[in-house]
Amino acid sequence: MGLADDGGLLIPKCIPDVASELPRWRRLGYTDLAFVIMRLFSDLPDQALRELIARSYSTFRAPEITPVVQVGDRYVLELFHGPTMAFKDVALQFLGNLFEYDLQLSGGGLNIVGATSGDTGSAAIYGVCGKSRITIFILHPHGKVSPIQERQMTSVLDANVFNIAVDGTFDDCQGIVKDLFNDLQFKRELSLGAVNSINWARILAQIVYYFYGVFRVMDSTGALGVRVAVPTGNFGDVFAGYIAARMGLPVSKLVLATNENDILSRFFNSGVYSKAPVVSTVSPSMDIQIASNFERYLYYQCNCDSKRLRALMTEFSISGRLEMPKGQGPSDDLIVAGSAGTADVFATIRDYYQRNRYLLDPHTAVGVSVSSRFMSKTEPMLCLATAHPAKFGETITKALGQDLAHHPILDELRTRPTRCKILSANTAAVREYVSAHAVRRPTGV
């Protein structure tokens, strides 16, 4: 479930304190660790949860799922070994299996409809392709996503996957999806579902790799506290880190890193959250101004006072601005923030390659660049690597003057057959297409 019925976001009843479990958990492999963490937030039978986790991470190309590598004076948590080579696979592989499990129990069917400007679409498609009871429709702006991202989506030929290239912009795609969800009769009739980043199950799956990564850095260094740098758009990834820290994982600082779209880093440095126009950058998956998960963080900073949170969010929706000075919430010193522009990103990619022969994708480079401002002698820095560099090879070529970022699977995409429906930017046309191809089963709800 995405939004709650009153329009708010869902959060767990309480944040469990697991500090006393850490010595035992530190010895667990990735999927066992995922099991002990997720079962604290879930009422699935143990066996079912274990199977869901095993199936979700069997598609990853690295035996450790999210390995940690030491690169120069920092550690890098590689989150890009899933099917689409971006960190969103960690959550969406799990979410797809969870939906399927739930639908098998209820006997229902689900039609997922979403709009994408890049990474989310392919990760969502790979999360549900080939699953019975689920059909997915992903809208992207025709000719306006990167060639690799387009191919990652349109080369999936499973019968339950429908790519729609809309003759228009990303905003047109989002507008159409919104129209479809606002048509309540259509929504109910087809049981439309979303896979957006406010789904709590996505956050849950992401909490796991904070534990895994921080444990590995503690193993290598003996440190008692680890700083973690997170490139951020929707505040989803960094919010998972926040929950991990509140659970008792020794994350001593979360370094929040934004690109030129810096609403979040401005907030953490000034206490003012104020909207600005979105600009496009070389880290497109972070070109976001309103961070949908931020509301969850604010709730905790309001000391779980829903009325106060509602007042703040109402103020923001009216004026595009809200204020929350430091010194009021439970963990004010945990998150530090900064932003890195295109020149910083290019310099960081070059520097990391020249010194360490390690390629950073532009999103990861935003995090690494900002992390340099928050290094400490006693606490090692773990930087989250959110995409494989070959996904953004053109930017790497611009930064290095050499075409170095490749992956055989991405190269091979160029020759694969593709399937995609081109439609005009018109809600009625898309509604008709979705209606004609949707799975229809009673949902039982």
For position 121 contacting ligand PLP by CB under 6 A, the verdict is no
Out of 235, 268, 273, 352, the only residue in the binding site for ligand PLP (CB under 6 A) is 235
**CB of residue 203 vs ligand PLP: minimum separation in angstroms?**
9
Out of 56, 135, 265, 285, the only residue in the binding site for ligand PLP (CB under 6 A) is 285
Stretch of residues binding ligand PLP (CB under 6 A), selected from 17-25, 148-156, 160-168, 230-238: 230-238
Out of 368, 387, 390, 396, the only residue in the binding site for ligand PLP (CB under 6 A) is 387
Out of 67, 168, 236, 380, the only residue in the binding site for ligand PLP (CB under 6 A) is 236
Closest residue by Cα to residue 286 from 430, 193, 392: 392
Element (H, E) at 122: helix 119-128
Closest residue by Cα to residue 181 from 89, 266, 277, 115: 115
For position 140 contacting ligand PLP by CB under 6 A, the verdict is no
Q: Which of residues 181-200 bind ligand PLP (CB under 6 A)?
A: 197
Q: How far is CA 136 from CA 38, 216, 412, in A?
A: 26, 37, 24
Intra-chain end-to-end CA distance of the chain, in Å? 13
**CB of residue 311 vs ligand PLP: minimum separation in angstroms?**
25
Query: How many whole angstroms separate alpha carbon 443 and alpha carbon 137?
Result: 18
Beta strand 272-274 pairing with 321-323? antiparallel
Out of 234, 252, 258, 348, the only residue in the binding site for ligand PLP (CB under 6 A) is 234
For position 386 contacting ligand PLP by CB under 6 A, the verdict is yes
Cβ atoms of 41 and 55 within 8 Å: the answer is no
For position 265 contacting ligand PLP by CB under 6 A, the verdict is no
In the complex with ligand PLP, the residue whose CB is nearer, 60 or 235, is 235
Cβ atoms of 386 and 237 within 8 Å: the answer is yes
Paired with 381 in beta bridges are: 227
Query: How many whole angstroms separate alpha carbon 221 and alpha carbon 165?
Result: 49
For position 254 contacting ligand PLP by CB under 6 A, the verdict is no
**CB of residue 259 vs ligand PLP: minimum separation in angstroms?**
10
Catalytic residue among 13, 88, 131, 307: 88
Out of 89, 237, 287, 379, the only residue in the binding site for ligand PLP (CB under 6 A) is 237
For residue 308, what are the contacts with CB-CB under 8 A and spacing of at least 6? 302
Closest residue by Cα to residue 91 from 246, 244, 195: 195
Query: Mind telling me the catalytic residues?
Result: 88
**Residue ranges in contact with ligand PLP by CB under 6 A:** 86, 88, 119, 197, 231-237, 285-286, 363, 386-387
